[in-house]
């Protein structure tokens, strides 16, 4: 199984277990993540979910570019990668325990969680500009971090450190890798000990002011990025990655 699910003292752990591929989002991983989120939603024994990756190198490196190149993926549907709070409704809190790089779709997953704890060596990047793909899912990013930081992340594709992510408000806490699991478990248990209706209402309250704007922003972002997904460059990026060569951009 490339995704595992277990519950420890009312804290569910959903783990992408594909470390040899940097926990990339293959079709199987995406399907099993969706099933895992749905299982958590229906699991009365779990009050909090921790999402993480296996190994110490990657939380999730994003989409499986070889698979994208082989299938000539153009415009992915919004639920191509399951997005808690957007394509999957979860009333209970979700914590990202980021144990390594969180790039592209991995960044997306961390972004959509309610809380983020990162290992000291973790890195975060919206890497789509480097492979000619799109990031309409990043519409809420300038709500999470200052707009100039969001702009830097999007137009450069360069990673930022866990400490920088903490400085700009993307990450709640940074800990040594050896302490990551225990820190996430402890946070989950503190939340699970609270009144469930209060926790659920608190989660809704945080996004209350932005909820309607999110819907409009996602719709506008999908329209903005569709021509990018349909471009020749969007096929060139994954193909170059698969073929281990430098991409040749045409702007078409």
List 11's β-bridge partners, or say none: 8, 48
Provide the residue ranges of all domains of the chain, joining segments of one domain with +: 3-178
Q: Residue 90: its pLDDT value, please?
A: 96
Q: How far apart are CA 45 and CA 166, in angstroms?
A: 31
Dist CA 177 CA 73 (whole Å): 35
Per-residue pLDDT reduced to its tens digit, 216-247? 777 777 877 788 888 888 888 888 888 889 98
- pLDDT for 233: 85
Residue 136: DSSP 8-state? G
pTM: 0.86
Dihedral, 149, 150, 151, 154 alpha carbons, nearest 10: 120
Give me the sign of the Cα torsion angle 112, 113, 114, 116: negative
pLDDT of residue 53: 98
* CATH fold of 3-178: 2-enoyl-CoA Hydratase; Chain A, domain 1 (3.90.226)
The per-residue pLDDT for 23 is: 97
Tell me which residue has tokens 């506008």: 220
Residue numbers of the chain with a pLDDT score lower than 70:
211-212
**Quick one: three-class SS letters along 110-127?**
HHHCCEEEEECCCEEECC
Residues in the chain: 252
């Amino acid at each position: 199984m490339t995704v595992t699910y277990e519950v420890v003292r009312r804290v569910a752990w959903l783990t992408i277990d594909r470390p040899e591929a940097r926990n990339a989002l293959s079709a199987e991983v995406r399907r099993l993540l969706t099933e895992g989120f749905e299982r958590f939603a229906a699991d009365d024994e779990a009050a909090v979910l921790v999402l993480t990756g296996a190994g110490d190198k990657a939380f999730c490196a994003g989409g499986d570019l070889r698979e994208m190149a082989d299938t000539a993926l153009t415009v992915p549907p919004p639920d191509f990668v399951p997005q808690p709070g957007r394509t999957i409704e979860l009333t209970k809190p979700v914590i990202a325990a980021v144990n390594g790089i969180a790039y592209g779709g991995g960044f997306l997953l961390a972004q959509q969680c309610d809380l983020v704890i990162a290992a000291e060596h973790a890195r975060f990047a919206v890497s789509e500009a480097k492979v000619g793909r799109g990031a309409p899912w990043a519409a809420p990013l300038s709500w999470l971090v200052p707009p100039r930081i969001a702009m830097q992340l999007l137009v450069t594709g360069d990673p930022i450190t866990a400490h920088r992510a903490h400085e700009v408000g993307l990450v709640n806490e940074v800990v040594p890798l050896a302490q990551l699991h225990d820190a996430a478990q402890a946070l989950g248990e503190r939340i699970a000990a609270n009144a469930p209706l209060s926790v659920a209402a608190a989660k809704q309250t945080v996004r209350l002011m932005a909820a309607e704007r999110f819907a409009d922003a996602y719709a506008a972002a999908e329209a903005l990025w569709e021509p990018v997904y349909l471009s020749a460059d969007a096929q060139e990026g994954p193909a170059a990655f698969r073929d281990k060569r430098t991409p040749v951009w045409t702007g078409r």
